[in-house]
Amino acid sequence: MSRTERFRPTRFTLVIGAMIGALALTGCGAGQISQTAEQTAAVSGANVTAGDIAVRNAMITFPSGVKPERVIYPSGGSAPVTVVIANSSDIPDKLLSASSPIASSVQLAGETTVPGEQTLVSGGDGTKLSNSRQLEITLEGLTGDIRPGLTYPLVLVFERAGAITVDLPVDSSEAARRTEGSGGGGSH
């Protein structure tokens, strides 16, 4: 009497089959023309958080009238910094000093105390933020040329939060923003 046995896959065989299927499907995910290949960040600046202090959208401000492929701030000159500094605590913190190896000094002007649950804003359109106080941060006596596409370290020292290092990118030029905005590449 012949009896046909049914094939019963083992657990191991099922797991291997599932892994092969998942691997095959992940290869189809992006393709040569993926939606995310051309996307840029909504905020072009650096973001760092240390304790209750959040440094947001920090960057070296791009000057108007300068071509993006050249030196935008020459050695020996100065460069303004755009940044939003937010304090999530109800206890104020104070920006004591700032330094950078790309500058002989970093000047702080205006308000340096970040009140509880408020912000300090330097440069940019930050004056439009509610609950913000104005601060100016300027890299003085540049020790080298500032060029687009590079980052430059800035150390902010706070009374409570301590030292926070931010790698400042150079903001994109107005011409680059107009070109990116008119490209129409964001459609689905």
Q: Quick one: what percent of the chain has pLDDT higher than 70?
A: 70
User: Could you write out the DSSP letters of every residue in 175-187?
Assistant: HHHHHHHTS-TT-
One-letter identity of residue 19? M
Q: How confident is the model at residue 186 (pLDDT cuts 50, 70, 90)?
A: very low
- Between CA 51 and CA 167 the distance in angstroms is 18
Mean pLDDT along residues 41-55: 87
Residue 2 is predicted with a pLDDT of: 53
pLDDT over threshold 50, residue 177? no
Order the strands of the 151-158 sheet from edge to edge: 113-114, 93-99, 151-158, 162-169
Q: How confident is the model at residue 12 (pLDDT cuts 50, 70, 90)?
A: confident
**What's the chain's average pLDDT?**
82
Nearest to 170 by CA among 102, 90, 96: 102
Q: Quick one: what percent of the chain has pLDDT higher than 90?
A: 55
Q: How far does CA 154 lie from the centroid of its chain? A: 13
**pLDDT tens, position by position, 104-123:** 999 999 999 999 999 999 98
Nearest to 113 by CA among 160, 153, 165, 58: 160
pLDDT over threshold 60, residue 81? yes
Alpha helices in the chain (DSSP H): 11-26, 174-181
Indicate the class that CATH gives domain 48-169: mainly beta
Q: Which residues of 138-162 are buried (b: 16+ CB within 10 A; e: fewer)?
A: bbeebeeebebeeebebebebeebe
Give the N- to C-terminal CA distance of the chain in Å, as an integer. Answer: 64
Nearest to 148 by CA among 178, 175, 121: 175
